[in-house]
């Protein structure tokens, strides 16, 4: 992926945690005992519930977190005792194969796992195969929804990205909020489905926040991924950098201003902040998947809520405010999988439920929640 080395090390540490957490969750995966003598005719009856794997799992993971996002699929499968086939991105084949060797070395049966580095028609044939009971896919919306249409009767879990937004209230601590937004907009060169893409700031603090944000973005080091000091490396391919460049040019042609960045060099794209972007531009309404963010003033939390919700995506959102009433209102009314208070939507704990609404997918990852997706309840009723 050409990921900065310090970020790659963090990913390895997270993957270790993910597998360890799955081992602990396996010990907690149980059922329950339910008395049934609550109605006439059920006297003395008792129900036991237990989770069983739905069947072998087909796990399709992307390039941007080639280790930890694979772990988020493989570790829950192992924890519930489900055989699996892992299809990685073509950009992450070596990582997948090495992870497969480590899983085998840990004692997981060789016949219960496979790395299938295939694409196109072969991948679709796997999705259609009725021997799989579960499909778990992380990637683009166009591909994910098509695979769901091919999946037949199997359970489907989709994580499809978004254009995550942030609201900064007039009561926010602006400097830490700007620092986190600068990081969340540009980490991993913006190739994160929960990267900060849209920032809506209360008009009373907009000018101060914008100045702070631009200073924080300017302080990021762009360069060689092998340099320990690098914050932002190249995109996965030059073609992706060219796409991001074209989206920025489209916004500028429509009247947007480039506050910083905006230039491409081969597969690098500078961290970029845009202002005055029409909502119809792709950098606003689609998933940019690059180091570009837009910033705009809003007159109130209500307008911030409306602007955040005005998207076909619904993965996560960030909220910088101390007002509990605002926080609760956003939680009740914003159709996203998660709201991160006091931080950017780019935050994810590997233990928490993770997934989206609308075009951002269906189902939830996070080790325990994936385990639930991979299994089904069976009930055993006993009588005297």
Question: Is the CB of residue 318 less than 8 Å from the CB of residue 327?
Answer: no
11, 25, 159, 270: the catalytic one is: 159
11, 181, 193, 245: the catalytic one is: 193
Active-site residue, 372 included: no
Query: How distant, in Å, are the alpha carbons of 96, 206, 274, 279 from that of 255?
Result: 44, 19, 10, 11
DSSP symbols for 108-149: --GGGEEE----HHHHHHHHH-TT-SEEEEES-HHHHHHHHH
Active-site residue, 193 included: yes
Please give the Cα distance from 268 to 157 (Å, whole number).
33
The helix or strand, by DSSP H or E, that contains position 374, with its residue range, turns out to be helix 367-374
**Which residues are CB-neighbours of 266 under 8 A, at least 6 positions away?**
234, 238, 241
For the chain, the first-to-last Cα distance in angstroms comes to 61
Which residues participate in catalysis according to the annotation?
159, 193
């Amino acid at each position: 992926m050409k990921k900065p080395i310090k970020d790659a090390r963090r990913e390895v540490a997270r993957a270790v945690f993910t597998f360890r957490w799955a081992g602990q969750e396996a010990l907690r995966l149980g059922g329950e005992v339910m008395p049934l003598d609550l109605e006439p005719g059920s006297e003395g009856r008792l129900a036991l519930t237990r989770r069983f794997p739905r069947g072998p799992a087909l796990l399709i993971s992307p390039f941007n977190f080639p280790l930890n996002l694979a772990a988020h699929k493989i570790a829950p499968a192992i924890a519930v005792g489900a055989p699996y086939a892992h299809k990685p991105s073509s950009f992450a084949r070596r990582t997948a194969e090495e992870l497969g060797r480590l899983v085998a070395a840990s004692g997981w049966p060789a016949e219960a796992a496979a790395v299938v580095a295939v694409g196109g028609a072969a991948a679709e044939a796997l999705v259609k195969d009725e021997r799989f009971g579960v499909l778990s896919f992380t990637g683009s919306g166009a591909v994910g929804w098509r695979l769901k249409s091919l999946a037949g009767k199997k359970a489907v879990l989709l994580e499809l990205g978004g254009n995550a937004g942030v609201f900064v209230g007039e009561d926010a601590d602006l400097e830490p909020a700007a620092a986190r937004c600068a990081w969340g907009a540009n980490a991993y060169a913006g190739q994160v489905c929960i990267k900060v893409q849209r920032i809506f700031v209360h008009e009373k603090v907009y000018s101060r926040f914008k100045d702070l944000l631009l200073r924080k973005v300017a302080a990021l080091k762009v360069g060689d991924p092998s340099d320990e000091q690098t914050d932002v490396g190249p995109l996965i391919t030059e073609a992706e950098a060219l796409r991001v460049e074209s989206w920025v040019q489209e916004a500028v042609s429509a009247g947007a201003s480039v506050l910083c960045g905006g230039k491409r060099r081969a597969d690098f794209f500078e961290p970029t902040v845009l202002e005055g972007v029409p909502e119809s531009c792709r950098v606003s309404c689609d998933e940019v998947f690059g180091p570009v963010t837009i910033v705009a003033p809003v007159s109130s939390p209500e307008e911030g809520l409306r602007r955040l919700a005005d998207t076909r995506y619904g993965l996560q959102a960030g909220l910088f405010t101390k007002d509990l009433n605002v926080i609760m209102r956003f939680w009740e009314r914003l159709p996203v999988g998660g709201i991160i208070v006091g931080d950017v939507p780019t935050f994810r704990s590997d233990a928490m439920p993770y997934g989206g609404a609308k075009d951002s997918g269906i189902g939830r990852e996070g080790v325990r929640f994936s385990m639930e997706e991979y299994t089904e309840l069976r009930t055993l009723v006993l009588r005297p």
